[in-house]
Amino acid sequence: MIKRIALLVTVLILALGTPVMAAEPGKGVIEGALVNKTKGGGGVTDQTVTLKTYKNDTETGSATAKTLADGKFTFTGLATDAGNSYQVTLTYQGAEYTGDKVAFGKDETKKTVEVTVWDSTSKDDAIRLQAGHTVITPQEGTLLVQEYFVFVNNSDRTYIGPKDPSNAELVPTLRFSLPKGASNLQYEGLMQCCVVNIENGIADSMAVMPGQKEVMLEYQVPYKSTGYQFTQKVNHPLDTYNFLVQGESVSVTASKLTKEQPVNFQGKLFNYFTGEDIAKGDLLVVDLAGLPKSSSVGLVIAWMGGALAVLAGGFFVAYQRRTRKAEPVAVASAGPPEASSRKRQRLLSDIARLDDEFEAGLISQEVYKKQRAEKKAQLVELMRRSQGVTGKG
């Protein structure tokens, strides 16, 4: 009996398991500093910084620290084994900043990071649209509108919008007008969490840091006859603007825009208009006539969705350079069409992946912009080499 009781107790003890010993602190150390790049900017002392911990790219925890008089901070006791990574975030004067994601290498126990911040401002004087592009493709009773914008903040301050400290609502910083009846809106360069609805459009509520920011929009607008008036309010000072409408039979007239020679791009003819130095608050009005009653241009839709940035970033450069010469520029072949297509798809996938990683906070804005610009430049060059671009006068 005693043996049976002893055996039962042993089984119960084993079933309960042994006490779990607390994991020993890691040996990793992250030393960092905040650097305010605004001339004569505010101090970076006594700022709360958060260190997010990731295991195989899944956030598992966080810790906080206060900066010292020189903006420096330290996190200790960090795991250094493979799969662990760390990222510093903070809010400074109402704007959120994120440092580069770091991981310890083999036998490495110390990492250093630097996070750049700027003083914030509620004035948008330095916010401009360096370039804007609108491409309209008529479909059956619907206009597919695709737009590409390059914003620039030329100051050394982060624009946070006209924020009211007593109001926790998201405050618009960059505004985008949409025509009445616009539907099926999609966008890149904006985070879903930070997009707000405004009168006659949408707005981004993220802080606008010094430098460039690219945004793409795509939506559809219905039309009932063979004509349509496209109107768009200019919400930010616009340096250069390109407006294209596909269709050889489509007649286009536009106020405040200059008619250029039609453009033939990859076998598709586009009516082409340009504008410069368009003031904030101006209304662009474009009248379209001769729109198709049935779709005859559907094959271009899939291509346009992935390559608008290429069209805006590379095609216009090539076209503007070409129009200064008397004859079209000969374009060399990029190789077999299948290879070019695979490479193009891979580059588009890489750009989409970078967008997803940035939105998820996995990479810093600096790394995101640099890598995306490199991929986009490769894509532009590939498109320019694989397809000829000619004008039609």
d(CA 270, CA 293): 18
Angle at 171 between CA 156 and CA 218, to 5 degrees: 90
Quick one: 30 exposed, middle or buried, by C-beta within 10 A (0-12, 13-18, 19+)? Answer: buried
Q: Read off the pLDDT of residues 14-42 as tens digits, 9 standing for 90 and up.
A: 444 444 444 456 899 999 999 999 999 99
Output the pLDDT for position 316. Answer: 41
Helix (H) or strand (E) holding 216: strand 211-222
Q: pLDDT means per 10 residues in the chain (393 residues)?
A: 46 44 72 97 96 93 95 96 95 94 94 97 96 93 95 97 68 94 94 91 95 96 92 96 93 93 88 96 95 55 46 43 32 42 65 73 73 75 52 41
User: Is the Cβ–Cβ distance between 272 and 246 less than 8 Å?
Assistant: no
> Which residues neighbour 328 within 8 Å (Cβ) at sequence distance 6 or greater?
322, 388, 390, 391
Output the pLDDT for position 345. Answer: 60
d(CA 388, CA 174): 35
DSSP string, 65-126: EE--TTSEEEEEEE--STTEEEEEEEEETTEEEE---B---TT--EEEEEEEE-EEES--TT
DSSP string, 236-257: S-EEEEEEEEE-TT-EEEETT-
d(CA 299, CA 315): 19
Output the pLDDT for position 360. Answer: 66
Residue 31 token pair: 């030393």
DSSP for residue 355: H
User: Is the Cβ–Cβ distance between 194 and 204 less than 8 Å?
Assistant: yes
User: Looking at the whole model, is its pTM more than 0.75?
Assistant: no
| Domains of the chain, start order | 26-117 (2.60.40.1120), 127-391 (2.60.40)
Owner of token pair 């966080």: 62
User: Is the Cβ–Cβ distance between 188 and 355 less than 8 Å?
Assistant: yes
d(CA 252, CA 345): 33
Residue 148 token pair: 């590409």
